[in-house]
Amino acid sequence: MKPKVVIIGGGNGGLLAAHRIADAADVTVLEAGIDPGDPVPARFLHEHGYPEHDWDYSDADTGAHLIRGKVLGGGSTVNAAAGSRGQPSGFDGWGPGWQWDDLLPAMRAIETDEQFGDRPYHGDAGPIHVTRLSQGPLDEAFFAACARAGHRECPDHNAPGTQGYGPWPTNRVDGGRWGALAAVAPLLRSRIQLRDRTMVRRVVMEGSRAVGVEIEGPDGAETLAADLVVVSCGTYGTPEVLWRSGIDAPQIGVGLQDHPWVMMNVQARDEADIFARPVSGSLLRAPVHDDPTDEFQVFPFSEWLYDHAAPRDSWSVSVALMQPVSRGSITRGADDRAVIRLRHLVEPSDLARMAVAVTRTAALIDDLAATGLVTVPGDAWWRSGDLEGELRRRVETYNHPVASCGMDRTVDRRLDVIGAGNLKIVDASIMPKIPDGGPNLVTMAIGWKAGGIILEDLGLQP
């Protein structure tokens, strides 16, 4: 008889782990949101912002809404499908078994890179298709400004050690979002039990060992027995499941990390220049000072695409700090709801480095404005005499939260919850340190690698 594995959460980590173990174990994936089905409805491939499929989190200090997908595929169903892995150096703090060279086989296994699949650091047979976005007129102008500023051209932002300007890598097929919902769920539905619209009340524990999951679904409440329970509810949701289950794992919610970013909005001369390529096709990655491991990102995009209340000619040139020192926290609130404090730029070094990144980006914007393609507002906040004060007021989230249940704090090197048996965590919360790319592809790679660990722990062959 196959061992029973229950995976709580159908996001990037959960679905990729399920994909790897599905033929060797009896797998059930529980998803609180809906399964939109196969083929995926067009809106889940092309649109942004689904308030009816969101967990409705907010930052306790600022009140800012924190987007998290309550739908099969999780974040990869609602995000912008950025496919940036980050630098190898960004994994140096991950420790034995989880550094760049350890994760690279998983990154290659999940990927089909449409331009560079023949390179040794890319994959050519995985379910997640990665391509490079084309450029519109404003992207091309942005590239030209980057070149004039001395930045190098970078055709593949996922090539190890590279920096400069080049097209965004993204998990898209035919212009549509190609995350875990579109790419992986169709490979799973006939091989596992997939139960959507199913909330998990708690993990059932006997002593210190997980033995099942208590759920509430369309057919009412029931308890599922399990030989292994995998929590894959994301950086905000996984602590909530542990708390509801009475699991007193060490340091839950400590060390929360996210990339801070700010938007520098300008006005396009002609909105047609924006909508020739409405999803940003251009990305600049550069060191803040001289250290190539301390990187900032700049990318322009159509603000209207994500917020239809914004003017259609608004073009946001956005800046993100990719190796922040500041740390936030998640604490236990009423009804075991996560109380989230991201605490961006609270460390003086983050504030100072973000100011440098914004100042360098302002020079690029001035260069673009000289071409006549964009107009800088007369009251542009980045021209303020109090730049650091403006940054404190305007900093936002890049929506890349990680590390609330980090390795060597809440889980061990094999992703077992410390102090609990038959219980693992497989999602972005286990990252020991934030990578300097987005967590999208990295979390998928964690899921794939975790699937191998699960097979080993259960004595199974894939």
Q: Is 71 annotated as a binding residue?
A: yes
Backbone angles phi, psi at 219, to 5 degrees: -100, 15
Q: Is 398 annotated as a binding residue?
A: yes
Q: Is 200 annotated as a binding residue?
A: yes
453/450 Cα distance (integer angstroms): 5
Locate 13 and state its tokens.
């980590």
Locate 186 and state its tokens.
């169709």
C-beta separation of 422 from 211 below 8 A? yes
Annotated binding site for substrate: 398
Annotated binding site for FAD: 71, 200
Annotated binding site: 71, 200, 398
